[in-house]
Chain A
Amino acid sequence: MILFDRVTKVYPNQMIALSGLNLHIQPKEFVTIVGSSGAGKSTLIKLLTREEVHSSGKLIVGGLDYDTITPRDVPLVRRRIGVVFQDFKLLPGRRVGENVAFALEVSGAPRREIKRAVPKMLQLVGLASKEGAYPHELSGGERQRVAIARALIRQPKILIADEPTGNLDPKNAWEIIELLLKINRFGTTVLLTTHNKEIVNALKRRVITINRGRIIKDEEQGRYTLEGGK
């Protein structure tokens, strides 16, 4: 599903963010990536969403070789991957339903399909009754659910969750993790980055630890072993 083959990323200021990284993630896997700030987690995600371009090596996602991507293909690549962020990135002036529908609108989905898909997706994330609410009327956990619904509405094969629980209290954080596990059970590959030690240890899933742009640990049922985890 995702293959990093000796991938290196060097920024224009000569900072090496990833150094010959090798990583293979199978379809339907639930993988947690941990690492201290500046370890290379964000760069890894940015390479996947094509916000950044790798300097060398090979990156293949869902059978698509990123070396063959043209700027015109980038929107199509992003439509194949769902992404949620710590700060939710919702449109404050749009209602919950409109935020979720937005992802379908940009890809040219017909109105009828949007009307059918949005309530179903909101039901999946437990927000069926909040379709008409604005983001500021929701709790942090609910906002993250909206973001997840938006990321999933196009039924991507991969969901990237970049610190999705970073702004949430423990109860809401666990609810989000449970939702991600549920999505994974439906067959979506989930890539989670987090600093939350408790969550990583409780998940008992594959954990990849990155440090200075390299993988230093890759365990099938890993634990959070870094200093300073929450």
Chain B
Amino acid sequence: MLQFWRVLIAGTKNFLRNAWLSTAATAVMTITLTIIVISFISNSALTDTVKGLTDKIVLSVYLRDGITDQQKDLIKNRLQGTGDVQQTVYISKDEAVARYKEKNKNDVVQLEAIEITGNNLPASYEVHLSDRNKLNDVIKVASDTDIKPLLDEKNPVSITGSRKDAIQNIIHGSNFVIQLGLIASLIFLLISTLIIFNTIRMAIFTRRDEIEIMKLVGATKWFIRGPFLFEATLYGVVGAFIATGLAYALLLGSGPKLTYIDVQSTIAFFTTYPALIIGAEILIGTCIGILSSLLAMSRYLKL
């Protein structure tokens, strides 16, 4: 225990003694961890936003007049068969008219028109999706050779609310941002590993006389390596605290301005589980530090 404590003290002294190197290593660790936590926040907020949007997406598949109940069941089964459908609701011709009238109750011309022409509106299935990315899979069912003849050719499959383009742009945009965050995180993980590797390599070089003396007076390998390991761990711990603080400030600061993005649940998560966030950041930072220093020591610290 006493030895362990001495190793921690030596590691902390080394961290403070090489102020410039430590600052550089901690800074790059902070950037890496900030990117990771921002990537996590973006992922969480965009997923919530897209989920909120897609919950409202309803695909309408219009049926040809006069098809049998059996054929209706076939269409329903095929739509649900995609596996990404939460619910399929049948809207009969009568219900369609009722909805039309309700929607146009203040438009006398439209109401008169439907009275004159009779019920020309097709029956339909309203499809509620469970996966925002599977929009096209469901639409594709409508073009299958056995299904297509059963559908109303004048009314193609449509998205209720006519926000298809906007929704699809958001979906594509969010996927892009999530992937970008992942790639940036990986790149900075690599950069910080290399920089900490180099920092420890330089520390080993700077302290080569001290290491030689330690060996000479009978220090164990653990006693010699320990301070380097702890020093690299400190980069991770300090970086984790700064990164979490930065990310939280960024989230609180930018949250109200992001009117189209749902950040409330992410802020709530941050506020409810701050220890979990910091703990995860410390874990990642520590892993980067330990891995880098182990690599540097295996290469440059021959005991």
Contacts and interface: CB of A to CB of B under 8 A. Distances in A.
Interface string A99-135: 0001101111011000000000000000000000000
Interface string B211-232: 0111111111101000000000
Interface string A73-114: 001111100010000011101000000001101111011000
A49 interface: yes
B3 interface: yes
Given A106-B223, A108-B2, A110-B2, A78 B213 contact: no
B298 to A, nearest CB: 15
Contacts of A75: 218-221
B140 interface: no
Nearest to B17: A93
Contacts of A90: 213
A49 B216 contact: yes
A196 B219 CA distance: 32
Contact of A89 (B3, B17, B216, B219): B216
A218 to B, nearest CB: 28
A83 B221 CA distance: 19
Contacts of A76: 218
Contact of B217 (A93, A102, A110, A111): A102
Given A105-B6, A108-B2, A108-B3, A89 B218 contact: no
Contacts of B220: 75, 106
A139 B215 CA distance: 25
Nearest to A111: B2
B212 A89 contact: yes
Sort chain B's interface into a size bin.
Answer: 10 to 19
Among A49, A75, A91, A110, chain B packs the most CB atoms within 10 A around the CB of A75
A132 B210 CA distance: 19
A150 interface: yes
A161 to B, nearest CB: 13
B209 interface: yes
Nearest to A110: B2
B210 A91 contact: yes
A79 B214 CA distance: 11
A105 to B, nearest CB: 6
B6 A78 contact: no
A78 B215 contact: yes
A106 B212 CA distance: 13
Interface in A196-220: none
Nearest to B1: A108
A111 B221 CA distance: 21
A65 B220 CA distance: 20
B179 to A, nearest CB: 48
A106 B210 contact: no
Nearest to B10: A105
B217 A150 contact: yes
A79 B217 CA distance: 6
Contacts of A154: 218
A154 B216 CA distance: 13
A103 B219 CA distance: 8
Interface of B: 2-3, 6, 17, 209-210, 212-221, 223
7 nearest CB pairs, A to B: A79-B218, A78-B218, A106-B219, A103-B217, A75-B218, A75-B220, A108-B3
9 contacts: A76-B218, A78-B217, A79-B217, A102-B213, A103-B218, A106-B217, A106-B220, A107-B218, A150-B217
Interface of A: 49, 75-79, 83, 89-91, 93, 102-103, 105-108, 110-111, 150, 154
